[in-house]
Amino acid sequence: MIEEVWYMQKFLLLNGPNLNFLGKREPEIYGTTTLSELEESIIKVGQQLGVEVECFQSNVEGEIINRIYKAYEDGVEGIIINPGGYTHTSIAIHDCVSSVLIPVIEVHISNIHAREEFRHKSIISSATAGQIIGFGIYGYELALQALINILKGE
């Protein structure tokens, strides 16, 4: 749809702890797609929608924060984040998300509200633009569309 080759919005796809293991175990919860397959697929969908998607995964809370500040420095305009287990504990990521001006969308592959009690509450949500939860890896694609929609609205 968008053809302006000389300029492309940059997005960041950020996956948190244990998502490196995606598709390798517990397929009944997370499906069988691996992280690199997921990243490739989102990059491709991004290309179709006219945005460039960079991908990053880390198990280290502080590296996720570092990567968000790097994105800010690089002029990234939107972030999709699946904070994994840090969703429920990280005030530091919350503060980072709320201090950069970039819209951030929180994605969860599984329906966290149908799992253990300690997964129901997200510390990060209040700092994000919105959340997409429970749609498997398709949720990342929805997030991409949502980001584009938000940026159009600005």
Under the binding rule (CB under 8 A), the answer on residue 104 touching its own copies is no
Distance CA 154, CA 139 (A): 23
Report which DSSP code applies to 58: -
Determine the Cα angle at 138 with ends 72 and 153, to 5°. Answer: 50
145 part of the interface to its own copies, by CB under 8 A: yes
Select 8 or 135, whichever has its Cβ closest to its own copies. Answer: 135
Choose which of 120, 140, 151, 154 interacts with its own copies (CB under 8 A).
120
Alpha carbons within 13 A on the beta-carbon side of 132:
20
Distances (CA, A) of 7 to 52, 148, 153: 10, 15, 18
Range 27-56, binding its own copies (CB under 8 A): none
Residue 5: CB minimum distance to its own copies, A:
26
Residue 131 interacting with its own copies (CB under 8 A): yes
Question: How many residues form the binding site for its own copies (CB under 8 A)?
Answer: 62
Three-state secondary structure of 122-148: CCCHHHCCEEEECCCCHHHHHHHHHHH
CB atoms within 10 A of CB 1: 6
Q: Which residues are catalytic?
A: 30, 108
Residues 83-102 close enough to bind its own copies by CB under 8 A: 84-96, 99-101
Task: Specify whether the CB–CB gap between 109 and 42 falls below 8 A.
Answer: no
Per CB under 8 A, the list member of 12, 15, 16, 51 interacting with its own copies is: 16
Interface residues with its own copies (CB under 8 A) are: 16-18, 20-21, 24-26, 58-63, 65-66, 69, 84-96, 99-101, 111, 113-114, 118-123, 125-136, 138-139, 142, 145-146, 149-150, 153
